Amino acid sequence: MTPNNHFDVIVIGSGPGGEGAAMGLAKAGKNVAIIEKENSVGGGCTHWGTIPSKALRHAVSRFIEFNNNPLFCKNRSSLHASFSDILGHAKSVIDKQTRLRQGFYDRNDCSLIFGSAKFVDANTIAVQDIEGGIEHYSADKFVIATGSRPYRPKDVDFNHPRVYDSDSILSLNHDPRHIIIYGAGVIGCEYASIFRGLGVKTDLINTRDRLLSFLDNEISDALSYHFWNSGIIIRNDETYESVEAKDDGVILNLKSGKKMKADCLLFANGRTGNTDQLNLSAVGIEADARGQLHVNQNYQTGAEHIYAVGDVIGYPSLASAAYDQGRFVAQAIAFGQASSQLIEDIPTGIYTIPEISSVGKTEQELTAAKIPYEVGRSSFKHLARAQIAGKDVGSLKILFHRDTKQILGIHCFGERAAEIIHIGQAIMEQKGKANTIEYFVNTTFNYPTMAEAYRVAALNGLNRLF
């Protein structure tokens, strides 16, 4: 092993978790290498997940906005686009993000090594490049930030040109008239919005009894209604028996006896941690059945010099949280322990059409805990800014304690929900009496704005008290 091949820390994976760790370690003066198995940085978040799906969703929502605005389509036909048409927009965003992230590593003098890593012993990894060459590197400590990939059951032929997962769907080169999406989690619901927004007949198969059951029930019901209203067929409590992929489409056989046929299938039911190629047995670590690693409060695995962050450790499996975990693990390595940890109330952003965001407790959680709460609501259709923008679908709901008026949860459905939520989150995170619903009544909002929904909802809630 040459001295040039030894580092203080080697980070495996350049997604948000790996990036956060590498940047934090570099700024702390550590000699850092980052291993990336693809030919550019950014990880699944940039190339197959968060960035492309949100770029696609934005393009589709703008088409819908144009076609629904009487000012634009009064004297002309509506705009149309296919999935392959809007992929170009997503790819341009990916390229911009990749160049941006590459610059971070360059400016912070991180050694960037492209290839697939596997452990040889406790302090050594072998990295195989795209041409098959193998180079060995050593480090005092390691951070595993290899992310996750779509779950692929063995009885589904993902090599068939009509069968896709949420990664390979970005290579879709034909324009289906009808798609079946199996799995109605966040990814499945987002892609259902995208394809239906493009005019594709969409069947959404949900293995549970309601859409996104972790959401507040009213928000979940609102999404179900708007999906139904847009023409998406939702089938709840269904599980597949088999998938028949043919030249002209796919037949999905359900255990309930139903049969469905479409031009293609998007299988979006679960994800698996990317740990199977790391040869973890060489360092005495074992992943669980979902490929995930168990870590302690400092993100250490069973081997104390090996840490893990991001999707590979499971919940919350969010790009935003992974970046924070990376920063915390850098603190743990550089200074002995992390100086902070993930906030308790992590906001959720779901980029369906309409958009959803929430933070804190749901009504069903508060009811089960017997916490005396009240509800303040604001409908977007009553806000001047929403009327101006023609965005009257949606609402904001604030849950607060009847006695202390402390904010317990905020749930938003509609345009820019994932942005609006942070106003409420900022107040929720305050200590003492600063995090009460009365803040929204006693402050002055710009008018007209979507943020004004907080003032309306707060007044509505306080008027319910007696």
37 marked as part of a ligand binding site: yes
Query: Smallest Cα–Cα separation from 338: which of 24, 122, 109, 123?
Result: 24
What's the rounded mean pLDDT across residues 110-130? 96
Predicted confidence (pLDDT) per residue in 255-278, tens digit: 999 999 999 999 999 999 999 999
Do 142 and 277 fall into the same domain? yes
**Residue ranges making up the domain that contains 374:** 354-462
Q: Report the pLDDT value the prediction gives residue 72, as an integer from 0 to 100.
A: 72
189 marked as part of a ligand binding site: no
Lowest-confidence segment of 77-91, 300-314, 423-437 by average pLDDT: 77-91
For the cut 90, the answer to whether the pLDDT of residue 82 exceeds it is no
Q: Report the pLDDT value the prediction gives residue 2, as an integer from 0 to 100.
A: 53
- Residue 218 located in a structural domain: yes
Do 173 and 206 fall into the same domain? yes
Mean pLDDT of the chain: 94
- Report d(CA 162, CA 244) in Å as an integer: 10
Q: Report the pLDDT value the prediction gives residue 68, as an integer from 0 to 100.
A: 78
Do 215 and 276 fall into the same domain? no
What's the rounded mean pLDDT across residues 360-384? 97
Do 89 and 145 fall into the same domain? yes
320 marked as part of a ligand binding site: no
- Report d(CA 296, CA 322) in Å as an integer: 15
39 marked as part of a ligand binding site: yes
Do 378 and 246 fall into the same domain? no
Output the DSSP codes for 183-225.
--SHHHHHHHHHHHHTT-EEEEE-SSSSTTTTS-HHHHHHHHH
Predicted confidence (pLDDT) per residue in 138-185, tens digit: 999 999 999 999 999 999 999 999 999 999 999 998 899 999 999 999
Q: Which residue has the higher pLDDT, 86 or 19?
A: 19
- Report d(CA 443, CA 44) in Å as an integer: 41
- Residue 103 located in a structural domain: yes
Domain boundary among 231, 247, 269: 269
- Residue 155 located in a structural domain: no
Q: Report the pLDDT value the prediction gives residue 3, as an integer from 0 to 100.
A: 64
- Residue 342 located in a structural domain: no
What CATH code is carried by the domain that includes residue 421?
3.30.390.30
Q: Report the pLDDT value the prediction gives residue 80, as an integer from 0 to 100.
A: 77
What's the rounded mean pLDDT across residues 193-212? 96
Q: Report the pLDDT value the prediction gives residue 76, as an integer from 0 to 100.
A: 66
Q: Report the pLDDT value the prediction gives residue 285, as an integer from 0 to 100.
A: 96
Domain boundary among 335, 370, 390: 335
pTM for the model: 0.94
- Residue 156 located in a structural domain: no
- Residue 340 located in a structural domain: no
132 marked as part of a ligand binding site: no
pLDDT band per the 50, 70, 90 thresholds, residue 389: confident
Do 390 and 425 fall into the same domain? yes
For the cut 90, the answer to whether the pLDDT of residue 33 exceeds it is yes
Predicted confidence (pLDDT) per residue in 299-315, tens digit: 999 999 999 999 999 99
Do 139 and 227 fall into the same domain? no
Domain boundary among 269, 289, 312: 269
For the cut 80, the answer to whether the pLDDT of residue 85 exceeds it is yes
- Report d(CA 51, CA 55) in Å as an integer: 6
Do 247 and 167 fall into the same domain? yes
Do 24 and 113 fall into the same domain? yes
Q: Which two tokens stand for residue 431?
A: 């200590």
Do 394 and 293 fall into the same domain? no
- Report d(CA 345, CA 180) in Å as an integer: 34
Contact call for residues 186 and 270 (beta carbons, < 8 A): no
What CATH code is carried by the domain that includes residue 244?
3.50.50.60
Predicted confidence (pLDDT) per residue in 204-258, tens digit: 999 999 999 999 999 999 999 999 999 999 999 999 999 999 999 999 999 999 9
pLDDT band per the 50, 70, 90 thresholds, residue 79: confident
- Residue 158 located in a structural domain: no
Q: Is the dihedral of CA 8, 10, 15, 16 positive or negative?
A: negative
74 marked as part of a ligand binding site: no
Predicted confidence (pLDDT) per residue in 447-456, tens digit: 999 999 999 9
Do 36 and 140 fall into the same domain? yes
Q: Report the pLDDT value the prediction gives residue 77, as an integer from 0 to 100.
A: 67
Do 12 and 111 fall into the same domain? yes
Give, rounded to a whole angstrom, the gap between the first and last alpha carbons of the chain: 74
How many Cβ atoms are within 10 Å of 95's Cβ, its own excluded?
12
How many Cβ atoms are within 10 Å of 54's Cβ, its own excluded?
16
44 marked as part of a ligand binding site: yes
For the cut 90, the answer to whether the pLDDT of residue 423 exceeds it is yes
Instruction: Give the count of domains, the chain.
Output: 3
40 marked as part of a ligand binding site: yes
- Report d(CA 55, CA 158) in Å as an integer: 25
- Residue 346 located in a structural domain: no
For the cut 70, the answer to whether the pLDDT of residue 430 exceeds it is yes
For the cut 70, the answer to whether the pLDDT of residue 125 exceeds it is yes
